[in-house]
Amino acid sequence: MDRIRIRGGNALNGTIAISGAKNAALPLMIASLLTDDTLTLENVPHLADVEQLIRILGNHGVDYSVSGKRLATTMGSGRTIHFNARTIVDTTAPYELVSKMRASFWVIGPLLARMRRARVSLPGGCAIGTRPVDLFIDGLRALGAQIDIDAGYVVAEAPKGLVGTHFSFPKVSVGATHVLMMAASLAKGETVLDNAAREPEVQDLAACLNAMGARISGAGTSTITIEGVEALSGARHRVLPDRIETGTYAMAVAMTGGDVTLEGTQGDLLRNALVALGDAGAEVSDVPNGIRIRRNGNGIRPVDVVTDPFPGFPTDLQAQFMALMTRADGVSHITETIFENRFMHVQELARLGAKISLSGQMARIEGVPRLAGAPVMATDLRASVSLVIGGLAAEGETTVNRVYHLDRGFERLEEKLGACGAEIERISS
């Protein structure tokens, strides 16, 4: 099993190219099930989750081809992939595939809308909370689906097709918003989704679906309206930049010091997190085609944050920000409101010398003057990269084990950091 070895203490200087967003690419790929024409996606990142979803889509009969080399020589250069679901050969998404990645459950919406039936295993993915599928099921039932749970599978049918409805989410859910927006695109009549997720990835999916012929308005607000159409066509769409990767590298620069331009990204995708970085002492500025992060000489100030749905502070940056706060001059607090089990990185950061105490969903971080390298274990995708950030600032050597988590969401991380002066390498078993 691969490991990453880091010798800390080097400031980061240079340019890092930001890849396409995993959290946007996955629902966009799934949207290919809605049409028998070709959907072409540009800027698709090279990630384990993308490869896993390609296998899952292939199980349903989706053909794909990649334009150009599968691994670009320029870091951040995503692939262009053509997906064609002309013939759906199977409407079952089996446990052995779905259990490896939660987002693969989302195929239930397009399959049900287009084929009028779907049998999808209950999902797996990172163990960061229960993340129940009740919202998905309730929303699809509101659209007219008949749904049963049978031996670990969600079995959904809509023999006469889905019908537009008015559905209000009891809590904000990005995944359920994706699924219901896709399903409602082929429903009869109008669907209104209230308390919908406002994330940029939801807006990106809506833009792609509209390019395919859907009639969606309001994406980016809490009320999304979908006027169903009989069929969708193919389209060409570019995946938006990864705001979580952007924030991760921004926090790495704030942690180590230095001056880095994050290229090919947009500050508006994570403005709340960038404000928190500025409050912590980093200089953050928008530049043409990117963001510049600097911290030269000044210390790290403590900042309190609360995770919230967009446009609030992203839960997917909570672990990274906690790593940064371990070196702050004072006490900071982080409150996690999205997932109830997302502090698993705390004990591993403590191995580096961090002083963190937990009280329910709040973490109290007492900044320390130094961290010391140590072997640590990645527990989930975002936790794993928080350990990398800690290791970049720690004295001595840090080894991050179980980095397959990193490969799910960060493209060529050690190369991007290494090009900016980090002493970091992957060790293959």
- Is 131 assigned a ligand-binding role in the annotation? yes
Going by C-alpha positions, the residue among 53, 45, 83, 47 that lies closest to residue 208 is 83
Q: Residue 133, annotated ligand binder?
A: yes
Spatial distance between the Cα atoms of 56 and 84, rounded to a whole number of angstroms: 14
Nearest of 275, 273, 302, 291 to residue 16 by alpha carbon? 291
DSSP string over 104-145 = GGGGHHHHHHHHSEEEEEPP----SS---SHHHHHHHHHTT-
Q: Which member of 126, 196, 274, 276 is catalytic?
A: 126
Reply yes or no on whether 420 is catalytic.
no
CB 320 within 8 A of CB 385: yes
Binding site annotation covers 331?
no
Q: Known binder of ligand: residue 365?
A: no
Question: What letter would DSSP give residue 160?
Answer: T
| 338 annotated to bind ligand | yes
β 235-238/38-44 pair status:
parallel
- 171 annotated to a ligand binding site: yes
Is 23 annotated in a binding site? The answer is yes
173 is in an annotated binding site: yes
Alpha-carbon radius of gyration of the chain: 21
Q: Is the peptide bond before 311 cis (omega within 30 degrees of 0)?
A: yes
172 appears as a binding residue in the annotation: yes
* Contact call for residues 52 and 100 (beta carbons, < 8 A): yes
Q: Which residues participate in catalysis according to the annotation? A: 126
Q: Which residues are annotated as a binding site?
A: 22-23, 102, 131-135, 171-174, 316, 338
Q: Which residues are annotated as a binding site for UDP-N-acetyl-alpha-D-glucosamine?
A: 102, 131-135, 171-174, 316, 338
Q: Which residues are annotated as a binding site for phosphoenolpyruvate?
A: 22-23
